[in-house]
Amino acid sequence: MKLDIKIFAAKGLPKLNPKLRQMPFCDIRIEDVETSYQTKTSKNGTSPEWNEAFTFSQINPASVTIIISVCHKQQVISFINFTISDITSGSEIDQWLDLTKDNDEQSSGGKIHLALSFQSEPEDQIAPQFMEEEEEAQVEENIENNENYENQNSPVSSPEQNLSERQSARSAQQTGRSPGSPRLKADRTREKIMNDEEDVEIIENEALEVAQQKYNAFLKANAAGLLDNSKKVAQFNQQNDEE
């Protein structure tokens, strides 16, 4: 949130010394903010005009305390100190405010005319979007990490298994006979281990996976021959129909 302050003028200022010329200026500060501003001096000692604007950035919209002192050289003539809470973007104030006299000898502190305008800064609008992008990136990272974990912990064929698959494919190619249905192999394996103490499901799944690999290897190695046989059967049936 940023705050634009316009200092227009003051009136009814007390004179610190009736015998000396008074040239007032304003010192503008925000509590807990390092930045501060000063207007130029005015030659009118009791009813000065400044018509200057200043901007404070990174204002806390929950609460802001504004301190404006009207001074002559190093002496404070009068001042105002007020707090605004629960600020929303677009809030504005434009009015004359009473100044507090700096010492009891003064009859009045006078008045000051100022305007305040609160507006959202670009950072205020970008921040929520940036947070959403960060959250999306975090979700994507978590998904990727989970996938990597699953890949790292998924079964990987050992060199012995790969060799067994190649030998099975070579044998199927030479004999032209199918290694058998994966489901049939699994059923046979299940029968063998029914009386064992090991987990039937785990061993059955492992046997099913190996059988499936061997069966796929056979189909891949003999695809052309199987297709040719099916064509010959079709031709034979067609000849019988013609006869």
- pLDDT, tens digit, 9 for 90 and up, residues 141-173: 766 666 665 556 555 555 555 555 555 545 544
* pLDDT score of 137 more than 90: no
Contact 110, 11 (CB under 8 A): yes
- Using CA atoms, how far residue 120 sits from 35, 60, 103, 124, 131, in Å, is 19, 11, 39, 6, 17
| Cα dist from 140 to 44, 121, 131, 134, 147, whole Å | 66, 30, 14, 10, 11
Distance CA 134, CA 226 (A): 56
* 85 bridge partner residues: 63
Domain ranges of the chain: 2-119, 198-242
Where is pLDDT greater, at 115 or 233? Answer: 115
CA nearest to 92, candidates 119, 112, 113, 124: 119
Lowest mean pLDDT across 12-16, 90-94, 148-152, 215-219? 148-152
Q: Are 15 and 46 in contact (CB under 8 A)?
A: yes
Least confident of 6-10, 11-15, 204-208: 204-208
Which tens digits make up the pLDDT trace of 89-134?
A: 999 999 999 999 888 778 889 999 999 999 998 765 544 454 556 6
Q: Is the pTM of this model over 0.75?
A: no
**For the segment 18-32, what is each residue's pLDDT rounded down to a tens digit?**
889 999 999 999 999
Superfamily, domain 2-119 = C2 domain (2.60.40.150)
Give the pLDDT score at 70.
97
**pLDDT given at position 176:** 44
Helix (H, G, I), strand (E, B) or coil at 34: coil
- pLDDT at position 75 is 94
* Strand 2-11 relative to strand 92-98, pairing: unpaired
For residues 92 and 176, the model is more confident at 92
